[in-house]
Structure 1
Amino acid sequence: MTTDPALTSPAITVRPGAETGVSVALEDVHVAAPGPGQVRVGIRATGVCHSDLHVVNGDWPTDQPLVLGHEGAGVVEETGPGVTGVRTGDHVVLSWFAPCRACANCAAGRAWLCTGTTALANTLPDGTTPFTDASGGELWPYLGLGTFGSHVVVPETAVVVVDEELPFTVGALLGCSVTTGVGAVLNTARVPAGASAVVVGCGGVGLSIVMGLRLAGAHPIIAVDLSGEKRATAQELGADVVLDPRETDTGAWLRERFGGVDYAFEAIGNAHVIETLPGMLAPGGAAVLVGMPRMGARSSIDPYELADQGKSILGCNYGSSVARVDVPRLARLHLAGRLPLERLIDRVRPLAEGPQALDELAAGTGLRSILTP
């Protein structure tokens, strides 16, 4: 443990607007020294994720000023009292869903269902924030992290030590999108070798699902996206067939060719697309909801079809992953050449270009942007 004082960090913040929308800005924020059970990390790379965009575009309303960002990787700079699992100099990936390690779900090995986490309240476990603005006003860490800056203070349970050979840019994606996508295949659906699958939406999470299906030995793998660039990348990463939904009725095509598929993964969070998933499935198949829709969205499903044909719908949060177990495992697979995660990264850009990266994400252009402080 060291005793570095509080410092100032450039960060991208979101503040609720007076009437409509929010304001996004780059500003200097003060970062407190870590308290008991807390760790200060110098951020080296952070991913720009749809969950950040959901806050910016109002799909997930907030009444708090936030420091955005939840996909981060960096180096431990300081530890607070009581921290025993990490030390200064460790290379780490940050998990946005820091588990309490005390509730019944954590005890049962289902950390992704933790009921004691404060991540969704955008606070540290003690209900505080490490961030303040220039006037001393509180800024809250998005999903308990706030990685769109040069430094964060996070709970020890959010910190996962990884091999120093792992690039920080790849490590940032392991904090959310990759762990979610690959975990949806291996943990949530538990896809067996030889099973057929379709992936609707080939952004960072969808392409991670494609890679997870390839790891699992699924066949055939069908990838669906409006973007020709994303379809091409999906094919490079293991998809056997790619479809443009403007040209092909995906459900009808799958029923005609295969009688439906065993697994249908939705990686957009679009309520209308979710309604079409049961029609893509063979009897006994499972639809897996991986994309996060806007709050309050509703989809209409024919329950008779589900019951009569034994089809199911599986919810997937964070790839049903335990970060402390799954993140190092995925990092090892990447370093061994089994998960070419660098293919997900479209651009590495300075933190100041974060608002532009969010705009491009909203427009559906490119793959994944990484910000570096």
Structure 2
Amino acid sequence: MLSDKSRPIIQATLPAVGAHIEEIAKCFYGLLFAAHPELMDGLFNRSHQADATQQQALAGSVAAFATALVNSPDRLPENLLSRIAHKHTSLGIQPEQYQIVHDHLMSAIAEVLGDAVTPDVAAAWDEVYWLMAYTLTHVERGLYGARGVSPQTVWRQWEVEKKIQETDDVVTFVVKRIEDHLVKPSLPGQYISVQVPLPDGTRQSRQYSLSRADQGDSRQFSVKRVHGAAGKPDGEASTLLHTNVSVGDVLTLSVPFGPLVLDDYSGRSMVFISAGIGITPMAGMLSHLATTGSALPIMLLHADHNENAFALRDQIRDDIVALRHASIYVWYEQGADSKLPVQGVFAGKMDLSHVRLPDNAVYHMCGPVPFMHSIRSALIALGIPPRDIQYEMFGPDLWQADYE
């Protein structure tokens, strides 16, 4: 909670900071990487730096936190902070690195806002930063403890056991543990970070959902190859995983993290809603339900270009068939034909009016942000409480739906 001295200062300066927050974020990253170029090796995603999505995400999260401290101190954006903390722990972020971020962020605020940053203004925003940082480090400490690791022991070596071409653009990797360190089981819906060595000698970390329940010492994740649009380059990490990694190769993976975790103990119906590669965390949760022989009512709603583009469809078909009270509905932009055991197949974009949603259900979503925004709005219009709608973001959280 902000001090009585800082609250009116933050309230008065929030519009000015908010109006320049993206400029501040851009300046911050420039200062940070000039002083610490090593942070681009294995930690920060340089693709997200290039397209400015990381800057936008940082700006949005700081602005949301400061706004909450002023307007609703009893309701901080907990879900947003949880997503940040899970991403941080999947990369092995250490508490002392918050000091590095602090120094360059405060310098960026002073550089962008100039004389408007008086000592009192600087002190107030310093307080905002450390309140956010202490909240995150507290959450992250608990996440590390729950996984039985520290920031230094997040990473493990795994050998590629299988490489499965799911679609033209999606490959599934099955990896097996080759170290004796304790590996706790993943939770359905979580992701791992993968460190990809690049030709220039640096590493880039990317997060991929576990697309199947753990099988003994083996884990499975699926990777969509990112194709550049409008003259932009292809995704460097996903391309290398597709083209350069083969069976027998060793990959460096983090232990699993991620806040979108299935709660199958509540006894409530489950509705999984996905589009494109957003099917991967849904596949992991369905696999867990099938493995445990769940009797819960389960509904999968999936949208894709066509059935050939539907990744993991054979696995999902088998899991849906194995579950006693499961149903699947699909929407294809190119036609309305399906060989899957579906209860409904429709042409065009997903339309919830085509299905009867169960009462008192929990909803899990993953897909492009415009898709999730549209579906979440439709669910809320149908009377679904926002607290019952969980979502997973691939990449920086530019949506922050939980704080709309």
TM range (shorter): 0.3 to 0.5
Give the structure-1-normalised TM-score: 0.35
Q: TM-score, normalised by structure 2?
A: 0.32
Higher relative contact order (CA 8 A, sep 6+): 1
| Structure with larger Rg | 2
Greater percentage in helix:
2
The structure whose residues are more often strand, as a share, is: 1
